[in-house]
Amino acid sequence: MISFVVRYIAVAILFLSILYGQNDAPRVFSIDPQVIIKIKNSYKKGDPKENQTINQFLISADKLIQKKIHTIIEKEEIPPSGSKHDYLSMGIYWWPDPQKKDGLPYIRKDGERNPEINKITDDRYKSEMIESVRDLAYAFYFSGEEKYFIKAVDYLHSWFINEKTKMNPNLNYAQFIPGVTEGRAAGIIDIHGLYQLVDAIGILETSDKWNKNDDSALKNWFSEMLNWLLISKNGIAESKAKNNHGSWYDVQIVSISLYLGKTEQAKDFLNRAKEERFSKHLKGDGKQPAELVRTNSWSYSAFNLAALFNLASLGERAGIDLWNYTNSEGGSLRKSLDYLLPSALDAEQWHDQQIKKIDPFSIYPQLLVASKKFDANLYSDWIHKIFGNQVKDKFINLFWN
């Protein structure tokens, strides 16, 4: 009798998972896959809210299908290695020394972006690729239309598989400084958005058209990149960074490790982050001292907090709770978010240096998350006070409504 009941329950669970699409769960790590499934099901059922937002999103995704794919080899400059397949970028806050005829070595002006960096296209095309693959993957998943899948895979081929156009898995020459260095550890921040690409690949994997050879090639590329991040001179140096650089380094290590099935390694870094990031970065009063020394201290505080929120999301997938972690000084994600809120509403409330205008929308995603993880009424009220009826990106609201 018991075995019959067990078999009945198992069959019922299987039926329900098929009915509600649970077998279609994407392998994503920075967001709950069940949330994505819920959105898809609501869209299929014709929910007006989801339909309006997703249909608008699909219109934007349609434009991506016609867009040319730019690759790393299109830059005019040649890295010191002699290969255009190596990523190249220049330090954003470094300028020619006006006291030197040739301007060398360049000098640092924190917070002031040198437009010279735009001459090298790798960073721009890399960001364009990540955002495009992300949006195309979601468009495919929600709509089921293969055209989005095909274009997303074309991007992945161009950047990670095709021998003629792919990027080499290293950042040896990221954020070089003329007259100072050919590349530096700080350049690893250039790929801080890579976790979004990892999730996009997980979404594309749900297609029955997903190619095993492509899957193997992508995993090989990410394995090599992960190895470079872990053992290269620049990678090791970046892992020791005491500010947002260290936080975003951990985001990349953890997300890639989870993608590659290296769960224990991901857990090790998440547990290490409690001491190295959450304890050292977050003070009991909500301040982030390593970011307050910057000329755009509010912006960098928000940037670091975004990385730590991402680590908490990744931790959730690995069974490690960072949302509610409080360090020995009483510092936590929630306190550091609360510290930024008054000045997001009124910039005059910020008393540390901030040479550019505060952009409240940079903490909008964290407020949406906080309304689910901490206090729905409090943070929903903050969202209303700061943004009113403004919504910069309606699509992101779907994930936290």
pLDDT digit string (tens) for the chain, length 401 residues: 444 433 433 333 333 333 333 446 899 999 999 999 999 999 999 988 778 889 999 999 999 999 999 999 999 999 999 999 999 999 999 999 999 999 999 999 999 999 999 999 999 999 999 999 999 999 999 999 999 999 999 999 999 999 999 999 999 999 999 999 999 999 999 999 999 999 999 999 999 999 999 999 999 999 999 999 999 999 999 999 999 999 999 999 999 999 999 999 999 999 999 999 999 999 999 999 999 999 999 999 999 999 999 999 999 999 999 999 999 999 999 999 999 999 999 999 999 999 999 999 999 999 999 999 999 999 999 999 999 987 666 667 777 66
Assign 3-state DSSP to the chain and report helix, strand, coil percentages, each to 5: 60, 5, 35
- pLDDT, position 307: 98
The pair of structure tokens assigned to 275 is: 């001491």
- pLDDT, position 48: 84
DSSP string, 264-278: HHHHHHHHHHIIIII
How far is the C-alpha of 342 from the C-alpha of 54, rounded, in Å? 32
DSSP string, 95-155: E--TTSTT-PSPEE-TT---GGGGGS-HHHHHHHHHHHHHHHHHHHHHH--HHHHHHHHHH
- pLDDT, position 401: 60
DSSP string, 201-229: HHHHTTSTT--HHHHHHHHHHHHHHHHHH
How far is the C-alpha of 368 from the C-alpha of 401, rounded, in Å? 8
The pair of structure tokens assigned to 25 is: 């769960």
Query: For residue 290, how far is the Cα from the chain centroid?
Result: 21
CB 345 within 8 A of CB 339: no
Phi, psi of 21, rounded to the nearest 5 degrees: 80, 15
Domain made up of 1-240: CATH architecture = Alpha/alpha barrel (1.50)
- pLDDT, position 14: 35
Q: pTM, whole model, 2 decimals?
A: 0.92
pLDDT tens digits, 81-119:
999 999 999 999 999 999 999 999 999 999 999 999 999
User: What are the residue boundaries of the structural domains of the chain, listed by start?
Assistant: 1-240, 276-401
- pLDDT, position 336: 98
pLDDT tens digits, 104-158:
999 999 999 999 999 999 999 999 999 999 999 999 999 999 999 999 999 999 9
- pLDDT, position 334: 98
pLDDT tens digits, 20-48:
334 468 999 999 999 999 999 999 999 88
- pLDDT, position 64: 97
